[in-house]
Amino acid sequence: MKSITLLGILLAALGILALVYQGFSYTRQEKVLDIGPIHATADTQEHVPLPPIIGGLALTAGAVLLVIGAKRKA
**pTM greater than 0.85 (yes/no):** no
For position 2, what pLDDT does the model report? 83
Q: H helices of the chain, where? A: 3-21, 52-73
Q: What is the CA radius of gyration of the chain?
A: 21
CB 45 within 8 A of CB 31: no
Smallest Cα–Cα separation from 15: which of 47, 45, 55, 42? 55
Mean pLDDT calculated for residue range 35-64:
93
Q: What does the domain layout of the chain look like in residue ranges?
A: 3-73
Task: Check whether 69 has a pLDDT greater than 90.
Answer: no
What percent of the chain lies above the pLDDT cut of 90?
72
